[in-house]
Homo-oligomer: A and B are copies of this chain.
Amino acid sequence: MTSIAAEDEPPPLGSLLLDEIHEQPEALARLLGHAQEYARAGEALRRRAPAVVRMAAHGSSDNAASYGVYAFGLLPGWTAIRDSISLSVYYGAELDLRDSCAIGLSQSGRTPDVVEYVERARARGALTVAITNDPTSALADAAEIVLPLAAGLERSVAATKTYTTQVAALALLAANAAGAGPAYEDGIRETASLVAGMLPGLERRLPEIALAFAYVGRLFAIGRGPEFATAREIALKLLETCRVAAEPLTATDLAHGPVAAIDPLFPVWAVVSDSVGLPAVLDAAARARALGARLVASGTLADSVPGAAYSLPVPAPPQPLLAPLLSVVPGQLLAWSLAQAKGLDPDAPAGLSKVTLAR
């Protein structure tokens, strides 16, 4: 009889989100099935040698674009920006884009102003690229080069596997533009295994932390360099699934004002994975701790943050630039676990739908 009752019960809140967090290693493997397309696109970018790589995106895709700034800056040494969509699409700025590459990032490929941004960029002479989970979407139609995420259908409103595949896609594209495609292809494959390996251990630790966070209403997530994208994405997960007013800041930004708002009910999540970012993050974390904030640390160097109440280290990937594929996962899992603790459904947060049509 219990088995019949169990069948009648709705699935537990957040089961889509949890499944998709677990599916990330496979999603990354599927992305690598398109490595040839990324290699050709990287070659096309290299021939163009763009003065500016412009990325247009919203939400989690825009967080992945924060990563792209570093992937293009550090691999081919190009200036890459999270471009202002509204400047072109709504304010009609007449920019000369003949020396630009414009990349639209959208899981659904249906975000209206990202599609329009790419159409306009193409008309103004940019080399256009669509990175999307739907290669038959309007975004794909608008761009000259289409790069699939191949993450598989994402059903939870909160993006996870489409975020990490976007990060990997930008790493792979930038690496190919720098002539380092094969090494990064191997690196992403190995990193996917590391993600799979660390999930069970992380999952066991999260409920305890979620309990401690059940009454947290505000949080800062700090990071530097490639891990600023991770800080942004962790903050967005906590905002949209757990109703925590989580604001992402660079470690330096924290010192320039927001630190004054910290108190013991205002935890700080520090993401740190490389020695370059470490001093600023340690400095910011120490200031926050002096003001009574509880610290959570993730990233490959999480154990280097003194006084962290919770340290969630992740293994080091073959290339340091791939660390964000790992360090975001503790944040995804905490969002799921904290939503459970609060009785919220992270698969369908109030006021959100999977495809955002807001302009």
Q: B-contacting residues of A (Cβ < 8 Å)?
A: 51-52, 58-60, 62, 69-70, 73-74, 77-79, 81, 84-87, 90-91, 93-96, 99, 113, 158, 217-218, 224-225, 236, 239-241, 243-245, 247, 250-263, 266, 276-277, 279-280, 283-284, 287, 290-291, 349-352, 356, 358-359
Contacts and interface: CB of A to CB of B under 8 A. Distances in A.
Contact of A243 (B60, B73, B261): B261
A351 B262 contact: yes
Given A79-B52, A256-B356, A351-B259, A91 B239 contact: no
A240 B247 CA distance: 14
Give the top 10 A-B pairs by smallest Cβ distance, nearest first: A59-B256, A255-B358, A260-B349, A218-B245, A240-B257, A73-B93, A243-B261, A240-B260, A58-B256, A247-B247
B351 A252 contact: no
16 contacts: A58-B253, A90-B277, A113-B252, A158-B257, A218-B245, A236-B257, A236-B258, A240-B260, A243-B261, A243-B263, A245-B247, A245-B266, A252-B358, A256-B356, A260-B349, A287-B351
Nearest to A241: B260
A258 B241 CA distance: 9
A77 B96 contact: yes
A251 to B, nearest CB: 8
Contacts of A276: 86, 90-91
B359 A252 contact: yes
Given A86-B277, A90-B224, 8 more contacts: A51-B52, A70-B87, A73-B95, A86-B280, A240-B261, A252-B358, A254-B358, A280-B359
Contacts of A291: 350-351
A245 to B, nearest CB: 4
A224 B86 contact: yes
Nearest to A262: B351
Given A86-B225, A243-B261, A266-B245, A99 B51 contact: yes
Contacts of A260: 239-241, 243, 349-352
Given A77-B96, A261-B245, A358-B283, A87 B256 contact: no
Nearest to A82: B81
B259 A352 contact: yes
A111 B77 CA distance: 25
A259 to B, nearest CB: 5
Contacts of A352: 257, 259-260
Contacts of A241: 260
Contacts of A90: 224-225, 276-277, 280
Contacts of A255: 356, 358
A305 to B, nearest CB: 16
A74 B93 contact: yes
- In this complex, the member of A79, A158, A225 whose beta carbon has the largest number of chain B beta carbons within 10 angstroms is A79
A57 to B, nearest CB: 9
B58 A358 contact: no
A316 B245 CA distance: 33
Nearest to A260: B349
Nearest to A248: B247
A250 B85 CA distance: 11
- In this complex, the member of A59, A69, A95, A245 whose beta carbon has the largest number of chain B beta carbons within 10 angstroms is A245
